[in-house]
């Protein structure tokens, strides 16, 4: 009995020591980490980027912030080509200070300032290789709620909220909200009854280059699609179509891990969010065959930009900028509540999906991103999160209930950077407690443990999460 007690004590000591000892976790992004705590925390160049490359970063930043214009209304070929249908005039318009987007604060007065896109698709298996889902016949894969002059936008996006209540074992009550999306003023005909809607807020851009630098093998090592270890967690990799290399690749980016690379993600956003032709997607508009008036609008393609609206060089520079955004350092890691909160995080098994640590590989074009010990708190795999979060919109291998584990680095700086606190794919959660309470499916066991926390433990967990 004495020997058993000693063993338990030793294990607890070692576990606590592990939680306390990893001082490198202060540098969440390894050598890319910036020690900062302000609204620009997500917008700084990787700390270890050589000085001679920082000019490229600054030019990429300028392109990221560029306000694109209707080619009919400007003679400036450097920034023309917007639309005719679009969601934003700039990358920065959705990624506020390179951070996350949000739902409108006031559903009736704030609709023009939202940084959210409504994705469309059919809830059925997609047999068309190379497409992430089956789009709506008329409106495609997302709704464009803005348009250039004298062209009708696709539709108005309307939000309402359904409310529900979660009660902790100690009696604490939290009111949860779930946005309901509807479309009105459909200007190009009816939308299919089979088409599903999914609202998506923009995600923070920090550390993307580091995520891209993790080896495929290291991500797949955490895959357990059929839960062979019987822990209730069945992480699954998304296999997506790589338009650059014309082959199937590991999905790493986006809410459902549907993008294989930063280059493709940037090109896709330029085309689908702003209707800008670029080296990967060369169509002059993203209009469907049913939108004939839209199709005939003059484009902004020009010879000096490779007969495109965004040239090869410009796309490379925006990609480089997105790859080289540094990760902010953690804060208060020696604080007792932070240490105890981390212990609770592990006790709840949150780390089963939110994997604390990776080491980046030796592949890739950027030496400053190689062989870095990083702390993203994500496995970058798909997990079934239950019906509460389901959008019923598949993307490649991701079904309507599955989402990629989002990285947690920079979590505590959300409000400072973006001006408000909104979490999860559609921005429904107004604080971290609400975000956790929406977890279901594979995370249901952790949620049940979470509901048993007392007020002090709850506060400690939140303090830890805000230190990330």
d(CA 208, CA 257): 13
**Which one-letter DSSP state was computed for residue 410?**
T
44-60 tens-digit pLDDT = 999 999 999 999 999 99
User: 108 versus 45: which is more confidently predicted?
Assistant: 45
Average pLDDT over residues 116-124: 91
| In contact, 139 and 188? CB cutoff 8 Å | yes
| In contact, 257 and 240? CB cutoff 8 Å | yes
Among candidate residues 262, 214, 260, the one with its CA nearest the CA of residue 239: 260
pLDDT band at 3 (very low <50, low <70, confident <90, very high): low
| In a domain? residue 11 | no
| In a domain? residue 248 | yes
78-93 tens-digit pLDDT = 899 999 999 999 999 9
The packing angle between helices 455-466 and 336-347, to 10°, is 100
What pLDDT sits at residue 15?
47
What six digits make up the tokens of 49? 């980027």
* Percentage of the chain modeled with pLDDT above 70: 91
What pLDDT sits at residue 420?
87
Longest dimension (CA), the chain: 84
Count of CB atoms situated within 10 Å of the CB of 374 = 28
What pLDDT sits at residue 17?
45
Range from 2-6, 151-155, 168-172, 350-354 carrying the lowest mean pLDDT: 2-6
pLDDT band at 329 (very low <50, low <70, confident <90, very high): very high
| In contact, 417 and 41? CB cutoff 8 Å | yes
d(CA 165, CA 464): 25
**Which one-letter DSSP state was computed for residue 149?**
T
The tally of CA atoms less than 13 A away on the side-chain side of residue 205 is 32
| In a domain? residue 172 | yes
| In a domain? residue 1 | no
Residues facing 454 on adjacent strands:
none
DSSP string, 378-444: ----EEE--TTT-----BTTB-TTEEE----TTGGGHHHHHSS--BSTTS-BSSHHHHHHT--GGGH
| In a domain? residue 6 | no
Among candidate residues 9, 35, 3, 14, the one with its CA nearest the CA of residue 346: 14
| In a domain? residue 31 | yes
pLDDT band at 294 (very low <50, low <70, confident <90, very high): confident
| In a domain? residue 10 | no
User: 10 versus 166: which is more confidently predicted?
Assistant: 166
What pLDDT sits at residue 115?
79
| In a domain? residue 342 | yes
Q: How many residues does the chain have?
A: 468
382-433 tens-digit pLDDT = 999 999 999 999 999 999 999 999 999 999 999 999 988 899 999 999 999 9
Tell whether the model's pLDDT for residue 331 goes beyond 80.
Answer: yes
pLDDT band at 18 (very low <50, low <70, confident <90, very high): very low
The total domain count for the chain is: 1
d(CA 59, CA 54): 9
What pLDDT sits at residue 130?
62
Range(s) of the domain holding residue 233: 16-466
Average pLDDT, the chain: 92
* Percentage of the chain modeled with pLDDT above 90: 82
């Amino acid at each position: 009995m004495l020997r058993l007690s000693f063993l338990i004590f030793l294990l607890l000591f070692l576990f606590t020591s592990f939680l306390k000892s990893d001082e490198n976790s202060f540098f969440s992004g390894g050598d890319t980490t910036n020690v900062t705590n302000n609204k620009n925390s997500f917008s700084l160049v990787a700390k270890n980027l050589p000085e001679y490359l920082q000019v490229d970063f600054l030019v990429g930043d300028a392109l990221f912030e560029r306000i694109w214009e209707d080619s009919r209304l400007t003679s400036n070929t450097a920034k023309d080509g917007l639309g005719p249908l679009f969601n934003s005039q700039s990358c920065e318009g959705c990624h506020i200070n390179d951070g996350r987007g949000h739902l409108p604060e006031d559903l009736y007065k704030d609709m023009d300032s939202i940084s959210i896109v409504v994705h469309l698709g059919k809830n059925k298996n997609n047999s068309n290789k190379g497409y992430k889902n089956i789009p709506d016949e008329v409106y495609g894969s997302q709704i464009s709620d803005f348009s250039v002059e004298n062209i009708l936008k696709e539709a108005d996006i309307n939000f309402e909220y359904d409310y529900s209540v979660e009660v902790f074992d100690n009696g604490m009550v939290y009111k949860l909200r779930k946005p309901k999306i509807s479309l009105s003023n459909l200007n190009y005909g009816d939308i299919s009854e089979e088409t599903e809607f999914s609202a998506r807020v923009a995600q923070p851009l920090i550390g993307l280059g580091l995520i891209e630098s993790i080896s495929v093998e290291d991500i797949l090592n955490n895959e357990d699609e059929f839960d062979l270890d019987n822990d209730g967690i069945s992480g699954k990799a998304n296999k997506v179509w790589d338009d650059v290399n014309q082959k199937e690749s590991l999905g790493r980016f986006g809410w459902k891990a549907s993008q294989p690379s930063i280059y493709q993600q940037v090109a896709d956003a330029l085309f689908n969010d702003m209707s800008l032709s670029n080296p990967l997607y060369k169509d002059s508009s993203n209009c469907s065959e049913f939108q004939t008036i839209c199709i005939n609008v003059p484009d902004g393609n020009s010879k000096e930009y490779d007969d495109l609206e965004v040239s090869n060089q410009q796309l490379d520079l925006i990609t480089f900028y997105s790859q080289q955004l540094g990760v902010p350092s953690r804060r208060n890691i020696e604080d007792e509540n932070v240490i105890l909160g981390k212990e609770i995080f592990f006790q709840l098994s949150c780390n089963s999906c939110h994997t604390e640590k990776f080491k980046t590989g030796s592949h890739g074009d950027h030496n400053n991103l190689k062989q870095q010990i990083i702390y993203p708190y994500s496995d970058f795999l798909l997990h079934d999160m239950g019906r509460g979060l389901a959008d019923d919109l598949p993307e490649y291998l991701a079904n309507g209930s599955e989402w990629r584990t989002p990285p947690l680095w920079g979590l505590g700086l959300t409000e400072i950077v973006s001006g408000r606190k909104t979490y999860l794919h559609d921005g429904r959660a107004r604080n971290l407690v609400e975000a956790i309470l929406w977890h279901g499916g594979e995370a249901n066991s952790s949620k049940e443990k979470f509901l048993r926390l007392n007020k002090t433990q709850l506060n400690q967990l939140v303090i830890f999460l805000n230190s990330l």
